[in-house]
A = this chain, B = another copy of it.
Amino acid sequence: MCGALGTWHTAGMTTAQGARARARAEITAAIKEAARRQLADEGAAKLSLRAVAREVGMVSSAVYRYFPSRDELLTELIIDAYDSLGEAAEQARDTAEDATPLARWTAVCEAARSWALAHPHEYALIYGSPVPGYSAPQTTVRAAARVGLALIGIVGDAREGTGLALPTLPAELRPEAERMAADFAPGLPVEAVPAMAAAWAQLFGLIGFEVFGQFHRVVEDREPFFRHAVRELARSVGIEE
C-alpha cells in the first residue's frame, strides 16, 4: 500500500534518523566533556558517573544509556589522552621539520613533557598505575603508539643523513631486536631498535618522575636537567650532535 517511493527515503529520513542520532552524539559528547573536566580537576580516582550525570543535568541511571560502565567512560578518556599527547608530539615534530635530528628529537621529548606537566591527571591516567582491573584493549594501542612512532621516524631520518653510531647487540638480544624491527620499525638498523624502545620507556621515566613528584627536593631546576637527559637519550639511539 505504501507507495513505491515511500519505502526507502521517506520524507523526514535525514531529519528523523539524523535527529535522534545527532542528539545522541551531542549528549555523548557532553558526558565526555563533563567527565574530562572532572578528570582534569580531581583525577581519575574521584571521577564519578553520578557527578558527571549531575553536571549534564541527568539522573545517574540515564548515563548508562551512553556508557555501559564507569570504566568504559574512563577507557574513552584514556584514548583521548593518548591522542592528545600524540598530537602534541607530532605537531612538535612537524614544526621542527627542517631542523637537525637532534633538535627534532628534543622538540618531541619536550612537547611530551610539557603536555604531561599541563595535564598531570591525564598523564597519570595513561602512564600511571592501570586504574581498575585494567582496561587497555586493542583500541588503545594505536593511540598509545604515536609518541613512540614519532621518535622512530626521527631516528629513521637521522639514519638517512649520517649513519648511526651504535654498539653491536649482544647475541641474546639479536633475535628479539630483529622481530621488533620487523614489527614496527622496518626502516631502522637492527641495533637501533632496542635502544629506541629503551629510550621511549626512559623518556616517560623522566617525565613521570617529574609529574608524580619523585624529583621533589632532588632535582629542582628541571628544564635544563631534562634537556640534558634528553640529549643523552638521543645519543643512546645514535643521533649525533
Contact = CB atoms under 8 A, between A and B. Distances in A.
A3 interface: no
B232 A129 contact: no
A175 B93 CA distance: 30
Contact of A232 (B125, B184, B198, B201): B198
Contact of A45 (B132, B167, B201, B206): B132
For A136, A148, A205, A217, the residue with the greatest tally of chain B CB atoms inside 10 Å of its CB is: A205
Interface string A114-153: 0000000000110111111010100001001000100000
A167 B235 CA distance: 12
Interface residues of A, number: 56
Nearest to A169: B228
Nearest to A226: B198
A108 to B, nearest CB: 16
Nearest to A202: B202
A136 B217 CA distance: 12
A57 interface: no
Given A202-B205, A209-B201, A221 B176 contact: yes
A209 to B, nearest CB: 4
A12 interface: no
Contact of A229 (B44, B194, B229): B194
B206 A198 contact: yes
A86 to B, nearest CB: 14
A181 to B, nearest CB: 12
A56 to B, nearest CB: 25
Given A144-B214, A204-B208, A232-B236, 6 more contacts: A125-B129, A128-B129, A136-B213, A173-B228, A197-B225, A198-B228
